[in-house]
Structure 1
């Protein structure tokens, strides 16, 4: 069951459905300026099994729309041992032996560095003649109208079939900053001895490792993986106890969740190769000694492994729920700007919000925005350049992302904002009419009949900030917030007119997103 975090560090979240429907995405580059690439994961399948379904990922060096996208699977190196088929053959043909070719009759857009996946699912399956130890290359090629073909070779292995089953779901209770333990359990419910096991964790931000083991890997205090050499005979179970703590910045009351997914060592190698291809790390080993997997039946350490694959992945996952007790909320504060310039000046502004703490907001499991933010453009100015994460509000409809010229914008914020960090959006305002103390606003925690949003703010009074243009005196004028607020970045294109303001560009919000608003996660698919 791969929900959000196969999800946090496995699956790339897209924009919420309403936003996708409302937007056409950023402008695309000319074909001559774009390079394509393709990736297909290494696959380990069990002999005498139905095989596994995998997907290619198609990348481009810039946003582009592809026509006649074609994927070619060449499994000649595995002839007679492995087949590659598509369950929906309406778009696929077999022009020659051991080759599958699939072409889409419609356009495919690639918007960002994460590429596009889910197209042309390929069922990689063993033949009756396949046996443990078979290994070969699957060549996957991608082409499109106006583009040269690009290829990638994936490794396919055939191994023994085993069936690892995760332990039961676990519930714990703890307050922010408190320590707790949770069981880690697996059982071999198959008929073949499992030659070791690996486990992958998808924990929410609040769940931190209190002890770091040498056969597990971590990024900071986040537990990511553990590997075990213990063999599990048919019917045998293995158990260990994990030491955790809740982060002091965990929101309360609420719940933190962790997913635990077991796999064979060979499947873990395939998974790690996928992460490496995306420059994603599983972390570094701990220094606290091994986490032992106590096995319920006689077993031995595995000295040499053959390839094994799980034949029933549906029972590989379980959950940990930590009910967070007490009260620990946070203060989100709007960030406005002061602009200075003469008629016709185009003035940059960095606006948004900061999380003053003490709690981190983590909506990663739903993928929804931590807050709903609106920007009202100051009177006499024109939004000449708009963040790609902001949409013009036209009555009850939204325009295109980054579309200039609107009077009001709604901005799509991330699903994770750590205490002490801020999230910003870049605009450029053109001053069409010089009006002293003209003011627009940045509003956060705006009510919305949609998912997400934050409505337990510790200081609602700072949820609105001004975008103040050509302030005079004490900066009074239209809009919310204090015109003399020292947190407002002051920007200007004509300092001669407003020397008293010291009109300089202050880079508020340089942190922005560490990765990207739509893909803010630690492990990504």
Structure 2
């Protein structure tokens, strides 16, 4: 399984790849279109700053075939250079207009086109204009999209590269993050974005911070500060800032979190690439997080952008002592019906604890549920949380597969049951029964839970009298608590990913 991440952001830190199936909202800075959903981001650049990227991304279901993208650069050419950069050579140029032909193969979240943006040598802060994209789909439908390009004032925020911490189950640990102004201009306002492990959750929820309302990662949040940071000055979050290790975590363990400092304008650019351009989630109710020492605020005359984003990120490593693991038990079932009937089936697993399951640190217990159907049935419907194990194409919920790989979202606590619901058509009598098998692993590879012998269970079909009715019959088996439907969690050693262009590799927060 793999994540889908946006290719570039600020020539360094990439947009966080969402690890669940999401419904795309309106494209950022774009108009509605009759074509497949397209999202395009805004950018802010500085004369002394890095190259940025404007990306058109296809969301959800899309038409397979060749798209034509016409890019009108006339409103920005006086102060910005726009070209294909190091991307594929798919465009022809005629004056201010690029005409690009891009083939989409049907992958979810495919990037349609990316263009490099640089400030011209004589650009002045405050200059602004729009790129106009006209997208024509393979079926001939056309839709317009716009991206705003702004010249900002360049500043240089920086922070420590690494931070090493130690803790234990249920304990709180301070996280003394700092930010330094390495540039020659005063930085007006800052945003701290932190995305961390399930096992390292924030101890407080501050009123000046937005907290992700996804179940996947309670440690993803962004805090906004109005402080001004003078050249050479450093500020630190106050002493209330820290994290807590849940008492039901797997231990010993290793947790990684990433903290990134943004200018307010760069943060808005970052958010314009997310599936929803609005807030991450609700604000907290605790007193505001502050920076110390606190300096007076100054009015912002111009938008500011960071001229060196490769020194804005701190990797926080937390080592948790202890000895606590968990057991997950596969749960099969017996379905009953006549040949020709369609019956419901629920299978999955129960977490017997004591440790929670799910992506919870480098050594936490991740679970994939591998469902092999009986030979005499056909899956008429399958959960969106399941994919065909034998198919390379990404098609969640595809009917008709023989073996499915299913995954639940979020942390599964002790006593919680995860179930996947299928509708099966009984095709004939006889045939080999099916199985539910749990694949347990952590960030380093396969790992055993406390009782591997209960990681496999049977699926049986019991034929009843009559036949050909096509009706739906109840299932037998254990009652279910959590039925997993929409929302496939793509577990790849953690919850969120950064793509670092300079390092040419994907890193995952675990």
Question: What band does the TM-score fall into relative to the shorter chain?
Answer: 0.7 to 0.9
Provide the secondary structure at the position in 2 that maps to 1:302. Answer: coil
Query: 1:370 maps to which residue?
Result: 366
Aligned residue for 1:290, secondary structure, equals coil
Cα contact 1:53–1:123 (8 A) shared by 2 = yes
When normalised by structure 1's length, the TM-score is 0.76
- For the Cα contact (< 8 Å) 1:9–1:523, is it kept in 2? no
Residues 292-351 of structure 1, C-alpha deviations (whole Å, 9 max, x = no match): 21249xx53123352011111111111111112112222212121221112232323122
What residue number does 2:312 align with?
Answer: 316
Cα deviation for residue 160 of structure 1 reads 0.7
Q: For 1:120, which of 109, 113, 117 is the aligned residue? A: 113
Relative to structure 1, the CA distance from residue 3 to residue 470 in structure 2 (aligned partners, 3 Å threshold; closer, same or farther) is closer
Match of 1:458 in 2: 450
Equivalent of residue 11 in structure 1, options 9, 17, 34: 17
Q: Report the Cα distance in structure 1 between the residues aligned to 2:62 and 2:491, rounded to whole angstroms.
A: 16
Once residues 317 and 446 of structure 1 are traced to their aligned partners in structure 2, the CA distance between those partners, rounded to angstroms, is 32
Whether the aligned pair in 1 keeps the contact of 2:209 and 2:224 (CA below 8 Å) is yes
1:515 aligns with 2:487: yes
**1:258 aligns to what?**
257
Contact 1:38–1:151 (CA<8 Å) still a contact in 2? no
1:279/1:468 CA distance change after superposition, 3 Å: farther
Give the direction of change, closer, same or farther, for the CA distance of 1:196–1:399 in structure 2 (3 Å limit): closer
Q: Does 1:216 align with 2:209?
A: yes
Q: What corresponds to 2:99 in structure 1?
A: 101
CA distance in 1, matches of 2:273, 2:48: 25
Q: Does 1:348 find its partner at 2:320?
A: no
Alpha-carbon contact 1:187-1:238 (below 8 Å) kept: yes
Q: Structure 1 residues 121, 199: closer, same or farther in 2, change over 3 A?
A: same
- Give the aligned length: 459
1:30 alignment counterpart? none
For residues 135 and 477 of structure 2, what CA distance do their matches in structure 1 show?
A: 46
Are the counterparts in 1 of residues 43 and 53 from structure 2 also a CA contact under 8 Å?
Answer: no
2:448 is aligned with 1:445: no
1:57 maps onto 2:57 in alignment: yes
Post-superposition shift, 1:198?
1.0
Superposed counterparts of 1:190-201, under 5 Å: 190-201=183-194
Q: What secondary structure sits across from 1:133 in the alignment?
A: coil
> 1:263-278 counterparts in 2 under 5 A?
263-275=262-274, 278=276
- 8 Å CA contact retained: 2:368, 2:406: yes
SS in 1 for 2:348: strand
Rounded Cα–Cα distance in structure 2 between residues aligned with 1:280 and 1:463: 42
Is contact 2:249-2:324 (8 Å) kept?
A: yes
Do the aligned partners of residues 223 and 116 (structure 1) sit closer, same or farther apart at CA in structure 2, a change above 3 Å counting?
closer
Per the alignment, do residues 369 and 249 of structure 1 end up closer, same or farther by CA in structure 2, a change over 3 Å counting? closer
How do 1:496-511 and structure 2 match up within 5 A?
Answer: 508=480, 511=483
| 2-structure distance, mates of 1:291, 1:170 | 20
Tell me the distance in 2 between the aligned counterparts of 1:446 and 1:325: 22
- Decide which of 125, 142, 148 is 1:149's aligned counterpart: 142
Q: CA deviation at 1:207?
A: 1.4
Q: Match for residue 285 of structure 2?
A: 287
C-alpha distance in structure 1 between counterparts of 2:247 and 2:448, whole Å:
18
CA distance in 1, matches of 2:106, 2:5: 24
The 5-angstrom pairing of residues 210-249 of structure 1 reads 210-219=203-212, 222=219, 224-240=221-237, 241=239, 242-249=241-248
Of 300-309 and 315-324, more deviation after overlay is shown by 300-309
1:200-211 equivalent positions in 2, closer than 5 A: 200-211=193-204
Match of 1:303 among 299, 304, 328: 299
Shift of 1:506: 8.8
Task: Tell me how far apart the structure 2 counterparts of residues 458 and 122 of structure 1 sit (CA, whole Å).
Answer: 51
**CA 1:156–1:405 in 2, change beyond 3 Å: closer, same or farther?**
closer
Q: CA deviation at 1:261?
A: 0.8
Report matched runs for 1:375-390 at 5 Å.
375-378=371-374, 381-385=376-380, 387=382, 389-390=386-387
Report the 3-state secondary structure (helix = DSSP H, G, I; strand = E; otherwise coil) of the residue aligned with 1:271: helix
Question: Deviation string for 1:408-434 (max 9, x for gaps)?
Answer: x25153575422352525251424116
Point out where structure 1 has 5 or more consecutive residues left out of the alignment: 16-33, 473-491, 496-501
Distance 1:45 1:287 in 2: 35
SS at match of 2:58: strand
**Partners of 1:8 and 1:364 within 8 A in 2:** no
- Normalising to structure 2: TM-score of the pair? 0.78
User: How far off is 1:462 after superposition?
Assistant: 2.7
SS at structure 2 position matched to 1:517:
coil
Distance 2:347 2:316 in 1: 38
1:171 to 164, 168, 178: 164
